[in-house]
Every structure is written in structure tokens, then in C-alpha cells.
Amino acid sequence: MAIVELNHYFVRANDLEATRRFYMEVLGFEQMPRPDFPFPGYWLGTGGRIQVHMGPHNIAQRETHYLGTPAHAATDQSGVVDHIAFLAEHPEDFITRFRRLGLEYRPRFLPASKLYQLFIQDPNGLMIELNFFGVTDVADWGGEDYSRMPRVQE
């Protein structure tokens, strides 16, 4: 038995429409069919696969509808989740889009692994990581070099 892929994650959105627009307009997700749940929301995906579910944070009975949401749940950042990562293609397209939209992002590069990453926050403060494998030249894009960062001392 093994975990083979991310099926989805759920975002409790402080502003449902702003969150939907971010995932669609900034990250390129598409709206997918969604069952008739007893609360508003969206299912978004890429390539016909559902990857992000979202609903409004402040709904009545949220502890019943959102099983991971106790009464004292945080309404910003990502609670106990640090970030969500996706495999992606064509980093130059994302960088162009981010710049055109005036969005802040953080690029990183791990040359030994040929891994280029872009980090961007959604409207709720949730950190999104985009991973691009097979990248060898980031001269046009920039980014922190992981291999030169200080090591954590245990």
C-alpha cells in the first residue's frame, strides 16, 4: 500500500470569490463539477482532476461541515499545514503571470536536483509551492540557491 498522489485539499476561505479567482486566474485551475453540499463552495482542478476544494470560513455549523475545523481554528495562514505543493510545468509562464498581476512570489532553486520552485500565497495566506523538475538554467528567473543556504544545526 502506498500514497500515490494528492487527491485534494480544502481551503476555508475568508473571501470565497477572491480565493476562487486566485486559483483560477493566477494558478490556472478550472472549475470542476461539485456535488450539492449543504454549504457554498467550489471544486477546482487541472487536467480534469480535482485538486482544491474550497468553502467559506465563517458558515454556521462549520465544525459539522468541515471536519478539520474546530471552533478555535485559525482564520489565516495555514494552521498546522505549512504549505501545499504541486508539480507544474513552464515556470516562465507562471513568472510572467505573477509579474503581470503584480503578485509577490519567492523563487528557489536546488541545482543538484534540477528543481526550481516558486512560492506564492493565496488570499488566505496559505503558502502554495510549485515544483518544476528538470530545470538547469534559471538565469532569466532568479531565485535563492538552496545549496548555499545556511544549514540548520541540531
Rounded to whole angstroms, how far apart are CA atoms 5 and 115? 19
Query: What global pTM score does this model have?
Result: 0.72
Q: Which residues of the chain have pLDDT under 50?
A: 1, 80
Segment 120-135, tens digit of pLDDT:
989 988 888 888 889 8
Which class for 9: exposed (0-12), middle (13-18), buried (19 or more C-beta within 10 A)?
middle
> Which domains are delineated in the chain?
1-73 (3.10.180.10), 76-154 (3.30.720.110)
- Write out the DSSP string of 18-62: HHHHIIIIIT--EEE-----SS--EEEEETTEEEEEEEESS-TTH
